[in-house]
Structure 1
Amino acid sequence: MKHRSSTAVAAVLSTTSLVVAGTSVAAGGGAGSPGVGDPYYPDYGNGGYDVRHYRVAVDYDPAADSIEGRTTIRARATQRLTQFDLDLVLPASKVVVDGRPATFTQTEHELVVTPRRPLHRGEPMRVTVTYAGTPADYSAHGISPWITTSDGAAAVGEPEIAPWWFPSNDHPRDKATYDVEVTVPHDVEALGNGVLVSSRRDGADRTWHWRERKPMATYLAFFVAGQFDITHSRTPSGLPVINAVASNGGSEGDYAAADLARTPEVVRWESRQWGPYPFEAMGGVAPAADFGFALENQTRPVYTRGFWRNGPNIYVVVHELAHQWYGDSVSVENWRDIWLNEGFASFTEWLWSEKHGEGTAAEIFREVYDGIPADAPFWDLTIGDPGKGREFAGAVYDRGAMTLQALRTRIGGPAFFDTMRTWAREHRYGNGSIAQFIGLAERVSGQRLDGFFDAWLYTGAKPEPTRANGFPADWDSTTSARRNVTSLGKIRSVRRHLLDTGHAG
């Protein structure tokens, strides 16, 4: 991740902050809040409206790594609004609300809009923003997530990326549908979410139109531009499968292409674990860059090609596709609920290992538990509330997966899988919190589990190997179980590569 110094940020702001028509905007009644109230990221997202649909149109110039954009947002006011915020770091030049020019101011992260007339609660609103800039030149809160590749760019990041290429209500609580059009030179490919509606050439340019018709969180929306080898196919049920691997990927690209081709196989298997696949398309993208992480972009995860540096790596594909259920269809209520994403996807890797004879989930659990001493920092992190900037620490993944295996042991396999599938079904296309998941597990199992979850999620210590904590009745802490775990090194290599850069997905 690129970082800019505070003086550099100040310099950028001094040249790009805008006050239109000399109007200053006073706070007060009718102003939507500048954040949704996330305890980790208080100014991410905004209050006062609910977005229904984004239509994002950007012209991306690979030579300059710059964007010219025009985004139209269809939303509904949830309160009386005389002013509202959008999350955007690129300089805006024009804002129109319901066909009328609006005044606005802009800081490093917020676009504050004053419509010509107040909006009433329940009233539909249509906001169009025109903007431009070089995303890599801009930071907010010391963060610059834009990825420039050798032949283009990847608008991919978590928990933030949207404000670097389109104005939005940037928090998972406000999901919407999307139409995204990316115009690039005619010999450049542009990948995105969902279904490819069209790829139209107009002179020296080509416009790629992608559509996602299921609700999607803003950080999951993406585009990647560059030189790609693209494959198209369909599943037996007719869902389109589009995979894209950088044309200059070398052996890493060959391995990536082979693993991404297994996407339908992995989705079929995960559907048997977690319920019907929630989306209308699938695939994956491996750009011409080693940016250090993979991200579960809805319908089409994006992978750094370094995952394939040492050969095949199906485990990272299993992980990111598991997020289509846990993270994408069911998104976090707040970013502190991240265990519901990463622990669940990591546990799915353990189940894949179990299915393929490379170590059962119980054996991997034992290997991890025995292999990490009680005084190791690993156990210090309370993964149910890890803290801002620690959402993607290794313990969230590994201790997170351990929590689910322990729950499986504590309440039994039938109740466990019923809980997981019910969670995916009841919160489909919505959001969920850890407290809600605990309540569901208690309801399905008929057991009181507050002590169990307290030990695994909210205590900065190694859980005691008791039956109440989900350990088998025959657990013997003085001996280790027979090891049959060939997958653990592969799973940990996924974790290690993520953690090397402080990213995860």
Structure 2
Amino acid sequence: MHRRILVPGALAAASVLLAIPASAAGASPGAPGIGDPYYPAYGNGGYDVSHYDLRLTYQPATDRLEGTATVLARTTQDLSSFDLDFLLDVSEVRVNGVTASFAASGEHELVVTPKSPLVKGTPVTVVVRYAGVPSTKSAYGFSTWHRTPDGAVAADEPESAWWWFPSNDHPLDKATYDVSVAVPDGTRAISNGTLRSTTSRLGWTRYNWRQDKPQATYLATLALGRFDITTSTSEGGVPVVNAYSRDLGDDDGAARASVERTGEIVDWLSGYFGPYPFGSAGGYVPNTTTSYALETQTRVFYSPRQFANGSNTSVVVHELAHQWYGDSVSLKGWRDIWLNEGFARYAQWLWSEHEGEGTAQELADYVYASHPADDPFWTVKPGDPGAENQFDTAVYDRGALAVQALRNEIGDDAFFAVLKGWPRTYAYGSADIADFRAYAEQVSGKPLEALFDTWLFRPSKPASGARTVAAPVRPKSWQKIAATNSVHQN
């Protein structure tokens, strides 16, 4: 018999080796950014989120928000630590039930270090307890938490989550949501999806919202204040929930006259884009001083200023079109913004045609003729505008020109097949412009590289529009469409 003798130190070392899974021995920190060249620090590497469960309490009088976020994810590498995008003050973090250490880093990073490394490909549950006054927090010199006279609103692009929940803040990592918010009686809490229940106790009411389809973090919204709420069902069967601040003043009537047409417009857009992709639709108009609107998923945010000159269904069409182009099918990277804005603007052109106020071709002719060759408008490339021009007017108008050029190139039958088939093919996922071009080529049977290069990627005016019109008449709808040019500029 041969007996192997181990000294005490060797025994200890052996037990440590046995305790650490071999695959986690070389664990490393997750990247502090997901890899977007426009916003290198946005999002994070090393994991993929499947669900956010947010249990919040908010006091309008002080703007204090307290919360517990439970984040369900799966690791995509062996992780020694990972980042969450977040700004509020954290009191505790647990990873898989075990207390983890944490520290703030950079402008908006929360670095979490689990007690033990996490193995690639395994589920992880992260619980973050936090509190703070969001309106006192800023990053990069700005805030996306909008204080109102009776509460607050979280709605902005390309970021807004940092001010109210920890996240992997990039459209490439979509997830489902449960958002439960307790507010003093008389205050309402509005979020995405469907309202599953409300409960009241000791002067507080808790609202429980669920978004059961994947949603990008910037499309998650929270509105807290005194709202009038209307509910209905569209003729096509889509439940609609709209909300209006009780102190909109002179803008109240125009806001309601516009947003209350949500069900009608959803049904109309379904004829072009296919079945509405979510379980509810709607919008809300809080008493904010902002000037933009945002396609927050299923519950669109509208600034009162969008209705300062009267009703405007065109902006409602724009934001609801995003529910297909931008929300259900999200961009892979922020350079792909044309997939959102070019098609939402083109939906406004189709609505103009529907209303008898100018055809899409007439609008294309007018836009093309309105900008001479030396206009800086043509130097912005809708297919890659750069972060500084992400919401430039050219991304909208030149972006819609590119859509019309595609229509003229492949013909109406193929074009409308693409328009409806794209949201179905990439439903609830993410895609980029290369994916769209490949899909359009597949459906139409035509090579489209030259067309896409000309209209999306060259910083110059194309030689001609789809047709040449010396002095096109301004379509009747143009004033309302142009009024939405600042729709995402904050």
**Fold shared per TM-score above 0.5:** yes
Task: Tell me if the contact between 1:136 and 1:147 (Cα under 8 Å) persists in the aligned partners.
Answer: yes
Secondary structure at 2:79 match in 1: coil
Q: Name the % identity.
A: 51
Question: Could you report, residue by residue, the CA deviation over 1:362-412 in whole angstroms, capped at 9, with x for unpaired residues?
Answer: 000111111111111111111111111321011001111111011111111
Distance apart, 1:484 and its partner CA: 6.5
Counterpart-to-counterpart distance in 1, 2:121 and 2:448: 40
The yes-or-no answer on 1:171 pairing with 2:170 is yes
Q: Name 1:98's counterpart in structure 2.
A: 96
Match among 28, 35, 38 for residue 36 of structure 2: 38
Relative to the length of structure 2, the TM-score reads 0.92
RMSD (Å), alpha carbons: 1.4
- Residue identity matched to 1:37: G
The yes-or-no answer on 1:62 pairing with 2:78 is no
Distance 1:364 1:101, change over 3 A: same
Counterpart-to-counterpart distance in 2, 1:419 and 1:318: 19
Task: Tell me if the contact between 1:230 and 1:243 (Cα under 8 Å) persists in the aligned partners.
Answer: yes
Match among 457, 471, 476 for residue 480 of structure 1: 471
Distance apart, 1:234 and its partner CA: 2.3
Q: Name 2:385's counterpart in structure 1.
A: 386
Q: Name 1:48's counterpart in structure 2.
A: 46
Task: Tell me if the contact between 1:186 and 1:205 (Cα under 8 Å) persists in the aligned partners.
Answer: yes
Relative to the length of structure 1, the TM-score reads 0.90
- Residue identity matched to 1:86: L
Q: Name 1:498's counterpart in structure 2.
A: 487
Q: Name 1:18's counterpart in structure 2.
A: none
Question: Could you report, residue by residue, the CA deviation over 1:198-242 in whole angstroms, capped at 9, with x for unpaired residues?
Answer: 121111211111100000000101110111111112234543211
Q: How do residues 457-472 of structure 1 correspond to structure 2 at under 5 angstroms? A: 457-465=456-464, 471-472=466-467
Secondary structure at 1:265 match in 2: helix
Q: If you compute each CA radius of gyration, which structure gives the higher value, 1 or 2?
A: 2
Distance apart, 1:270 and its partner CA: 0.3
Q: Name 1:227's counterpart in structure 2.
A: 226
Q: Name 1:266's counterpart in structure 2.
A: 265
Distance apart, 1:183 and its partner CA: 1.3
- Residue identity matched to 2:51: H
Q: Name 2:20's counterpart in structure 1.
A: none
Question: Could you report, residue by residue, the CA deviation over 1:72-115 in whole angstroms, capped at 9, with x for unpaired residues?
Answer: 01111122112111110112110011111001111231111111
Q: Structure 2: any 5+ residue segments left out of the alignment? A: 1-25
Counterpart-to-counterpart distance in 2, 1:254 and 1:191: 21
Distance apart, 1:424 and its partner CA: 0.9
Task: Tell me if the contact between 1:93 and 1:131 (Cα under 8 Å) persists in the aligned partners.
Answer: yes
Counterpart-to-counterpart distance in 2, 1:394 and 1:57: 38
Task: Tell me if the contact between 2:219 and 2:296 (Cα under 8 Å) persists in the aligned partners.
Answer: yes
Q: How do residues 102-501 of structure 1 correspond to structure 2 at under 5 angstroms? A: 102-107=100-105, 108-236=107-235, 238-465=237-464, 471-472=466-467, 475-476=468-469, 479-481=470-472, 483=473, 485-495=475-485, 497-498=486-487
Task: Tell me if the contact between 1:330 and 1:430 (Cα under 8 Å) persists in the aligned partners.
Answer: yes
Secondary structure at 1:498 match in 2: coil
Counterpart-to-counterpart distance in 2, 1:493 and 1:54: 36
- Residue identity matched to 2:277: P
Secondary structure at 1:289 match in 2: coil
- Residue identity matched to 1:120: V
Counterpart-to-counterpart distance in 2, 1:492 and 1:207: 40
Question: Could you report, residue by residue, the CA deviation over 1:103-130 in whole angstroms, capped at 9, with x for unpaired residues?
Answer: 1111231111111112212211110001
- Residue identity matched to 1:185: P
Task: Tell me if the contact between 2:236 and 2:267 (Cα under 8 Å) persists in the aligned partners.
Answer: no
Q: Structure 1: any 5+ residue segments left out of the alignment? A: 1-27
Counterpart-to-counterpart distance in 1, 2:474 and 2:221: 39
Task: Tell me if the contact between 1:318 and 1:349 (Cα under 8 Å) persists in the aligned partners.
Answer: yes
Secondary structure at 2:167 match in 1: coil
Counterpart-to-counterpart distance in 2, 1:203 and 1:214: 33
Task: Tell me if the contact between 1:246 and 1:286 (Cα under 8 Å) persists in the aligned partners.
Answer: yes
List 4+ stretches of structure 1 deviating above 2 A. 234-240
Counterpart-to-counterpart distance in 2, 1:203 and 1:44: 40
- Residue identity matched to 2:100: A
Distance 1:238 1:412, change over 3 A: closer
Task: Tell me if the contact between 1:344 and 1:404 (Cα under 8 Å) persists in the aligned partners.
Answer: yes
Secondary structure at 2:363 match in 1: helix
Distance apart, 1:359 and its partner CA: 0.1
Of 342-351 and 456-465, the range deviating more from structure 2: 456-465
Distance apart, 1:141 and its partner CA: 2.2
Distance apart, 1:444 and its partner CA: 1.7
Secondary structure at 2:387 match in 1: coil
- Residue identity matched to 1:380: T
Counterpart-to-counterpart distance in 2, 1:145 and 1:389: 17
Task: Tell me if the contact between 1:358 and 1:484 (Cα under 8 Å) persists in the aligned partners.
Answer: no
Distance apart, 1:30 and its partner CA: 2.5
- Residue identity matched to 2:273: W
Question: Could you report, residue by residue, the CA deviation over 1:35-78 in whole angstroms, capped at 9, with x for unpaired residues?
Answer: 11001111111111111110011211111112111100111112
Counterpart-to-counterpart distance in 1, 2:289 and 2:138: 21
